[in-house]
Amino acid sequence: MNINCSGQLVDLSVPKIMGILNITPDSFYANSRYDDLSKVLIQVEKMISAGATFLDIGGHSTRPGARPVDGDEELSRVIPVVESILKRFPEALISIDTFRSEVASKCVEAGAVMVNDVSGGLLDDKMFETVASLNVPYVLMHSRGTPETMQQMTDYDDLVIDVLDDLQQKVAQLRQFGQKDIIVDLGFGFAKTADQNYILLNHLRDFEVMNCPMLVGVSRKSMIWRKLNITANEALNATTVLNTIALMKGANILRVHDVAEAIEVVKLVDFLTVGEK
């Protein structure tokens, strides 16, 4: 299972790690916030050295209740970071975490090779057409509403079927625009209750019918620390547990704050399943 990142084929039959770089002042996990280019580059070097395949750069926090920023502010945060990373690490594979087609387009022009849209096209009706024209992989995430409203939109007739149906419809729309590589993200924490997140994780295999690679992003999220009555800072061990489960249920990409620990998970799960391949 390969995806084409601007001419570089990435084999997802062995799961890959995507490191999180939040260029925002208000992301939920303080240690993932970077507001100084030198600090960004230090963290990028650590992530690449630890084994990250992708770097996911976001300039707009999407945590519940996050303060919205306009497109110009988002671009002013992320473009210098994309350019600086590629100047220092020209082989880096950068994903731009945005729901705006204009930001996606300008970041790809600056050298990003993937678009990660937490709104699944809901917040910009030009996103699907734009990303297809950019000819880069697109992470299609399930969500509802906006960061301000999504936690009031958690009513489903049948959670798994409803999420699957929504994603399948959007995959079909993307294919009509000519989008080739689509990566599916079930949207853990987005318009989902804590319990619903665990139901979806347990049913991850059901989404293989879409024949798309699957990205799982549960790193240090509230679905972990609220359940355990701890903080995001204390949630690494539990994140590792859920990442292990995700890989054993078919995840192809793990989006994480802690790259070295996630790489260990990939290696150990691979050792565990080597006799089944």
| pTM passes above 0.75 | yes
Q: Which of 11, 256, 41 is nearest to 264 (CA)?
A: 256
Residue 238, CB-side half-sphere exposure with 13 Å CA sphere: 18
Segments making up each domain of the chain, as ranges? 14-276
Q: What does the pLDDT read at residue 277? A: 53
Confidence (pLDDT) at 28: 43
pLDDT single digits (tens) 237-273 = 999 999 999 999 999 999 999 999 999 999 999 998 7
**How confident is the model over 137-150, as a mean pLDDT?**
89
What does DSSP assign to residue 66? P
**Catalytic site positions:** 221, 255
CATH no., domain 14-276 = 3.20.20.20
Question: In this predicted structure, what is the pLDDT of residue 30?
Answer: 47
For residues 100-128, give the mean pLDDT. 96
Q: Which of 248, 177, 176, 181 is nearest to 212 (CA)?
A: 181
Quote the percentage of the chain above a pLDDT of 70.
Answer: 93
Tell me the residue type at 234: E
For residue 223, the SS3 value is helix
Confidence bin at 63 (pLDDT 50/70/90): low
Q: What is the pLDDT of residue 148?
A: 77
Q: Give me 148's structure tokens.
A: 């301000």
Q: What is the CA 131 to chain-centroid distance, rounded?
A: 16
Residues 6 or more apart whose Cβ sits within 8 Å of residue 149: none
Alpha carbons 266 and 261: distance in angstroms, whole number: 9
Segment 189-208 shows an average pLDDT of 96
Q: Is residue 81's pLDDT more than 70?
A: yes
